[in-house]
Amino acid sequence: MDMAGSKPQLTWAINLSVAFLVLLWVIPTVGLLISSFRDRDQISTSGWWTALSASERNFIQRADAPNTAVRDGDVWVVSGNVFGDKPGEVVAFGVRSQAPEAFAVGETGEHANGARISVQANGDYRIAYSEPQEGTRGLRLFVRSQSPPVFTLDNYSEVLFAEGIGRAFLNTLTVTVPATIIPILVAAFAAYALAWMEFPGRALLIAGIVGLLVVPLQVAFIPLLKLHNTVGIGKGYLGIWLAHTGFGLPLAVYLLRNYIAGLPREIIESAKVDGATDFDIFRRIILPLSYPALASFAIFQFLWVWNDLLVAKVFLGTGSNQLVMTGLIVELLGSRGGDWEILAASAFVSIAVPTLVFFSLQKYLVRGLLAGSVKGG
């Protein structure tokens, strides 16, 4: 029989479950981070989990044109390097597609046109012709290589400066910060009124707010956009701030109202006896005590707005001065779908800020949610 205060027998199962869920979230994030620092060749030939080991790949490299051959004694020679300016080590090579690894490093193979070809371990190749050539199309070299792990910042440089992510990043901040602060301010006042102020219809308002939690926001897109166009707001930052405020208010009011209603009644009554007004009580007592609930909603709202695409598509334009990061990444998927290194860097830039916000405020998340879910008045 377990003693009072001892750990339950299933604690290990709970810990394993939590660890499993954490791994499900952390492993893809780590993979995305590693992939964002790898070049295109390595991403296409090996997984991110092999990033610290050498990778092997087969590729075809076309040599320089025969008409560029330089005379060397009795032969005309074309030389170069199969890797260009990238590091690598040749394992084997061939001169025909039927035998792409026919020759070892340093051996000499003969092409069908009589050219003699050799490739060194560092990638240097030498093609010798017995007589001058006039062709402009170089011979194909089939190479099996081994490349050391390479990490680069070029992906981030291209993403931030060439692909416009830097501008989209600022646009997303412009949308997210006001769209997080405004509903918190409005909901905090409403939550206090619904929790501690007596007025007709209060219970009906609370029921309406709970009902709005289950209404899909998509049903409001067309009416709300028409309203914006009618009053002259149109598509712009003001419109999307108001849209996100409206969509986030039901959860914010419900969460904050439950938390504020659970605060000790004696504190509120003592403040009223001392002559404090409702605004003084709200500003000096309620707000400081409600920080966990405010922070927990701020996390939800920030993550929701930052990762939003649908609302931004409806209430914002598509110009570079309004395009948010999710919209730009969708465009990159269409135009740069094969450049996984660019997409990985773009995606990690996109999740870096919400990840930082989450870990900065996560200690308040559970506290605020639990208090808001079990307390009520």
Is 3 within the bounds of a domain? no
Same structural domain for residues 36 and 166?
no
Give pLDDT, residue 376: 41
Is 333 within the bounds of a domain? yes
pTM, two decimal places: 0.69
Same structural domain for residues 60 and 45?
no
Same structural domain for residues 323 and 183?
yes
DSSP 217: G
H/E run at residue 346: helix 340-374
Q: Are 376 and 255 in contact, with CB atoms under 8 Å apart?
A: no
Is 2 within the bounds of a domain? no
Is 181 within the bounds of a domain? yes
Give pLDDT, residue 129: 92
The number of domains in the chain is 3
Same structural domain for residues 214 and 327?
yes
Same structural domain for residues 142 and 166?
no
Same structural domain for residues 253 and 345?
yes
Same structural domain for residues 257 and 234?
yes
* Range list of β-strands (E), the chain: 55-62, 70-72, 75-81, 89-94, 103-104, 108-110, 116-119, 124-129, 140-147
Phi, psi of 148, rounded to the nearest 5 degrees: -70, 160
Q: Is the Cα dihedral 293, 295, 301, 304 positive or negative?
A: negative
Give pLDDT, residue 367: 61
DSSP 336: S
Low-confidence ranges of the chain (pLDDT < 50): 1, 3-5, 372-377
Return the bridge partners of 77, or none.
Answer: 70, 128
Give pLDDT, residue 365: 65
Is 132 within the bounds of a domain? yes
Buried b (16+ CB within 10 A) or exposed e, 346-375: bbbbbbebbeebeeebeebbeebbebbeee
Sheet architecture: strand order including 70-72: 70-72, 75-81, 124-129, 116-119, 108-110
Please report, for the domain that includes residue 167, its CATH number: 1.10.3720.10
Same structural domain for residues 96 and 232?
no
HSE (CB half, 13 Å, CA atoms) of 266? Answer: 0
Is 6 within the bounds of a domain? no
d(CA 170, CA 351): 14
HSE (CB half, 13 Å, CA atoms) of 6? Answer: 7
Give pLDDT, residue 187: 92
Three-state SS for 10-32 is CHHHHHHHHHHHHHHHHHHHHHH
Q: Give residue 109's domain range.
A: 55-147
> Which of 147, 175, 208 delimits the end of a domain?
147
Same structural domain for residues 369 and 338?
yes
Same structural domain for residues 143 and 163?
no
Is 1 within the bounds of a domain? no
> Which of 147, 169, 193 delimits the end of a domain?
147
Q: Which of 303, 296, 288 is nearest to 363 (CA)?
A: 296
d(CA 279, CA 260): 14
d(CA 12, CA 10): 5
> Which of 88, 117, 147 delimits the end of a domain?
147
Same structural domain for residues 266 and 339?
yes
Q: Which amino acid is at 209?
A: I
Same structural domain for residues 27 and 128?
no
